[in-house]
Amino acid sequence: MSAAVELGSAGLLFGVLGAGTAAGLVPVINAEAVLTAATAGNPHLWLGLAVSLTVGQCFAKVLIYLTAREGPQRLHSDGRVGRLVDRVRSRARARARARSIRPRPRWVAGLAARTPSWLRPEHLLRLLARPLAGTSVVLLSATVGLPPLAAVSVVAGTARLRLPLFIAGCLTGRLARFALIAWPVAHLVT
C-alpha cells in the first residue's frame, strides 16, 4: 500500500472513533449506520472499523458511568452549583407531592403493572450492584441493546459497579455487536 492509502485508512479509523464517541453521547447519531457506511466503502478494514467504533462507544459510556458515579458529590463541593442542585431537587419533591395528591389515571396504573420486573429501575439497580450479575447486564445491554446501554451506564455508575467490570462488559458486548454488523457488509460488498 502507498503511504497516502495508509494515511487515509488511519484517518478513517480515527474518524470512526470520533463518530463512535459522539454516537455514545448523543443518542440521535446511529453508530450502526456509521459502521455500515464506512465498511461498505472500505470492506478490507471491517475489523478495524468495528474495533475503532467499539472503543469510541465505550469511551463515551465510561464518561456517562463516571458522571453518574461521581457527579452528585462533585456538584455539591461547589457552593453555587450545590445550591442550584438542592433547589432543583426541592422543586422536584414538591411536584412529586402535588402529583401524589391527584389520583393516577387507570391506564398509568395498568401500564406500571404490566412492566416486566427486570425493566424496573429498582431491580436493575440491585442487579448492577452485584459484580457478576452487573457485568452480565452490561454485556447483554452492550450486545443486544436491551435495556439501553446509556441507561445501564447511568444505573451502573449509581450502583457503583466496579469500573473494570463495566469496561469489560461494554467492550466485549459492543465489539461482538459491531463485528456481527461489519462482517456481512464487508463480504457482501467484495
> Considering all CA atoms of the chain, what is the largest pairwise distance in Å, rounded to the nearest integer?
72
- List per-block mean pLDDT (blocks of 10 residues) for the chain, which spans 190 residues: 75 96 95 96 96 97 92 57 64 70 67 69 84 96 93 91 97 98 93
pLDDT on residue 104: 64
- pLDDT value at residue 99: 65
pTM to 2 decimal places: 0.77
Cα dihedral sign, 21-154-138-26: negative
pLDDT of 84 reads 59
Other CB atoms within 10 A of residue 156 CB: 32
Question: What's the pLDDT at 102?
Answer: 64
pLDDT tens readout for residues 76-101: 555 555 565 666 667 767 777 766 66
For residues 166 and 10, what is the distance between their CA atoms, to the nearest angstrom? Answer: 28
What confidence score (pLDDT) does residue 75 get? 47
Q: Where are the domains of the chain?
A: 3-189
